[in-house]
Structure 1
Amino acid sequence: MNILVLYAHPVETSFNAGLHSLIVERLTAAGHTVDDCDLYAEDFDPRLTRGERLDYHSERGPGDAVAPYVDRLLRADALVLSYPVWNYGFPAILKGFFDRVFLPGVSFKLVNGKAQPSLHNIRKVVAVTTYGGGRFRAMLMGDPPRRLIKRMLRATVRPGAPVTYLAQYGMNLSTDASRKAFMSKVAASMDAF
């Protein structure tokens, strides 16, 4: 399977960096082709420009600034997202990826003014994430990142595609044992991909 790994964390010594390395290592060892997209290392610009917004509904071409990312997304059979949750949301760089790359004609088509999901090449989605606070607090806030993955992204990819959300809540109070247990859970998920 050709798997696009979208990674969004700026610190190479973070727990998230360790998770990212584990994800890529285990998927590769399982025989998958991994397109490792480290958004910070690639210096992805998350800002939607004025011109991009004005041309948002126009057909895009190879000269478009995000065309290489669109191509990578359309070549993928599966998507693995690896990121921290900050302020109950995606890091800005990952949010910008969705804003700039999940375009009309890429992730959806407009038919009579209604969006019809069209990213049907993606047959499986896994999100691996960390939260500073606990699950209860995230639930009180509606846990927007979980809902975006489990609802919005699920509705965008191939109908019936499995969508898995692996979250380590309470990083601010985590222990070596809790982090190790989460890494084992992530490893098992990647091994079974």
Structure 2
Amino acid sequence: MRVLVLFAHPVETSFHAALHLAMVGALRRAGHEVDDCDLYAEGFDPVLSREERLRYHDLATNRQAVEADVDRLLRAEALVIMAPVWNFGFPAILKGFFDRVMLPGVSFRMVDGRARPNLQHIRSLTAVVSYGGTRWASALMGDPPRKLVRRWLRGMIRPWSPVRYLALYGMNRATEADRDAFLAKVVQAADRL
């Protein structure tokens, strides 16, 4: 399976970087073709420009600024998102990827004024996230990243595809044993893709 891994963490020595390396390695060992997109290392520009927004609904021109990223997404059969949760949301670089690449004609198409899913080629979605705070604190805030993955992104891919949301809550107080157990869970998820 062709897997697009979207990784969003600026520090190469972080725990999330270790999760990323473990996931990519496990996917490759399982025989998957991995397109490893490290948004920070690749210098992805998350800012939606005025011109891009003006062309947003023009299917003939809306991909111009992000054509290579669109092509990567359209080639994928599985999508793996790996990012920390900061201030109850994904890092700005990942949010910018969604804003700039998940375009009309790419992730959805307009039919009679309504958005219809257009990523039917993606048949597996996995998110690997870490939260500094507790699950309780995230729930009180509505846990926007979980909803984005389990509702918004799920609604764009092939119906009934598996969607996994692996979250390590309380990262600020996690022990080495907690981190090791979560790392093992991430590797197992790669095996079940």
**Same fold, judged at TM 0.5 (above):** yes
8 Å CA contact 1:4–1:73 kept in 2: the answer is: yes
Q: What is the letter of the counterpart of residue 69 of structure 1?
A: D
Q: Report the alpha carbon displacement of residue 64 of structure 1 after superposing the two structures with TM.
A: 1.0
Show CA shifts across 1:158-188 (max 9, x none): 1111100000000011000000000011111
Paired residue total: 193
8 Å CA contact 1:61–1:67 kept in 2: the answer is: no
Task: Give the structure 2 partner of residue 42 of structure 1.
Answer: 42
8 Å CA contact 2:80–2:127 kept in 1: the answer is: yes
Q: Report the alpha carbon displacement of residue 61 of structure 1 after superposing the two structures with TM.
A: 5.0
8 Å CA contact 1:127–1:166 kept in 2: the answer is: yes
8 Å CA contact 1:3–1:33 kept in 2: the answer is: yes
Report sequence identity in percent.
Answer: 61
Alignment partners' CA distance in 1, 2:86 and 2:76: 27
Unaligned 5+ residue runs, structure 1?
A: none
Task: Give the structure 1 partner of residue 188 of structure 2.
Answer: 188
Describe the SS at the equivalent of 2:64.
Answer: coil
Query: TM-score of the superposition, structure 2-length normalised?
Result: 0.98
User: CA RMSD of the aligned region, Å?
Assistant: 1.1
Q: Report the alpha carbon displacement of residue 192 of structure 1 after superposing the two structures with TM.
A: 2.1
- Give the ranges of 4+ consecutive aligned residues of structure 1 lying more than 3 Å apart after TM superposition: 60-63
Q: What is the letter of the counterpart of residue 192 of structure 1?
A: R
Alignment partners' CA distance in 1, 2:34 and 2:59: 28
Task: Give the structure 2 partner of residue 106 of structure 1.
Answer: 106
Task: Give the structure 2 partner of residue 153 of structure 1.
Answer: 153
Query: TM-score of the superposition, structure 1-length normalised?
Result: 0.98
8 Å CA contact 2:2–2:34 kept in 1: the answer is: yes
